[in-house]
Amino acid sequence: MTRKEECNAKVQKIQKMLTENDLDGVVIKRQANFSWLAAGGRGFIGLAGENACGMLLVTKDDIYLAANNIETPRLIAEEIPEETVRLLPTKWWHDGQIVQNLERQFGVLTDDFVMEDWFKKARTHFMPDEVRRFRKLGIMSARALEKACKKVRRGMSEMEIAGLISAELWSVGIEPITLLIAADDRSSYVRHYVPTKKKAEKGFIASICARKGGLVVSATRLVGFEAGFAGDYKKLLEVERVAFEATKAGHTLGMVFSSICDAYSSIGYEGEWKNHHQGGMTGYAAREYRADSTTKLVIEEAQAYAWNPSIPGAKCEDTVLTAPGGKIEILTSCSEDWPTIEIGGLIRPDVLYVQ
């Protein structure tokens, strides 16, 4: 399937929704939905932008790009599949009037903020080409993360480590939308390791959320400069094993979460789940649905999940795809030259010790 064919198939899905809900059209404003509809097209300017820099309008008859004169040439030339949209250009100084102009021309419209539940469900049921892109992204991201980790030397700061990882990701066209680094004992008192000037003398934890074509994978790796760094990491992998085993079609996210909570108790860390969220479904956002005990979302096949159990001093995280037969496929699996450990029949990354 070409990107144009994928885009057209998604337009038809939206048009069916419009007909079923007696709507004239929907304006796609969010970056995640822009990339989903444009079959991987990038609608952002800044990495952290939630809104796309151009709007896509889908009506019952057609699809349009409404963007200013700064963004239209780039979006058409580089991001949107060829010959899929009609243009509704405007001057950049009229940006604030785009929605009003669309409503004057097409009538009362809804948007993807109002319809977010529908779009979130649509964009997390992946087409075969999206699964293919997800697999490629997972391998590329894990390799880039590990390559950077192997370049780190004792005494480097968290910021320097983040710079190495960012460079490796960008070098293969992957956007580092989140980089978290915890040097030495810093993970014992913070869980979101926004990089600081703290230097890694004993070791470090590195976590990424990496995006390409709108899709996002998450992964974490640990590096030790001294024996015993992240001492309870192997225990934590048992929590992850429970999460993986519970991530199967028919289970709810709430069921997985409850299993994770019980697993913490079994390794001697009762209540540890209270100190950080445990992850959930991923896709065109790092966490499309974050799990807790009340999450009733039912897991289906060919969906992506990223669980991130953590304790003081250790964290584990990889992105997986639900597969037939209650199995999972690890998208961000570690490379052959990264140390591994087998847990529950799965090969998991171990702590990399370097001199």
Q: Which two tokens stand for residue 175?
A: 């956007």
Residue-wise pLDDT for 61-106, tens only, equals 999 999 999 999 999 999 999 999 999 999 999 988 999 999 999 9
pLDDT confidence band for 107 (50 / 70 / 90): confident
SS3 assignment, position 159: helix
pLDDT of residue 325: 86
What domains does the chain contain, in order, with CATH numbers?
3-123 (3.40.350.10), 128-353 (3.90.230.10)
Question: Do the Cβ atoms of 25 and 18 come closer than 8 Å?
Answer: yes
Helices then strands, each counted (H, E), the chain:
9, 18
pLDDT of residue 183: 98
pLDDT confidence band for 324 (50 / 70 / 90): confident
Tell me, what amino acid is at 207?
A: S
Name the nearest CA neighbour of 203 among 309, 308, 314, 307: 314
pLDDT of residue 86: 96
pLDDT of residue 232: 95
> CA 231 to CA 314: how far, in whole Å?
8
> CA 242 to CA 185: how far, in whole Å?
26
pLDDT of residue 225: 97
Q: Which two tokens stand for residue 126?
A: 């992946």
Name the nearest CA neighbour of 296 among 330, 258, 241: 258
Residue-wise pLDDT for 218-260, tens only, equals 999 999 999 999 999 999 999 999 999 999 999 999 999 999 9
pLDDT of residue 211: 98
**Coarse DSSP helix, strand, coil percentages of the chain, rounded to the nearest 5 percent:** 35, 25, 35
Name the nearest CA neighbour of 174 among 141, 206, 150: 141
Q: Which two tokens stand for residue 20?
A: 């079923």
Question: Do the Cβ atoms of 44 and 4 come closer than 8 Å?
Answer: no
Question: Do the Cβ atoms of 195 and 204 come closer than 8 Å?
Answer: no
Q: Which long-range contacts (CB under 8 A, 24 or more apart) does 65-74 make?
A: 66/27, 66/90, 66/98, 66/101, 66/102, 68/92, 68/94, 68/95, 68/98, 71/45
Q: Which two tokens stand for residue 240?
A: 């992850």
Question: Do the Cβ atoms of 250 and 298 come closer than 8 Å?
Answer: yes
Q: Average pLDDT, stretch 308-319?
A: 97
Asked if pLDDT for residue 48 goes beyond 90, the answer is: no
pLDDT of residue 340: 97
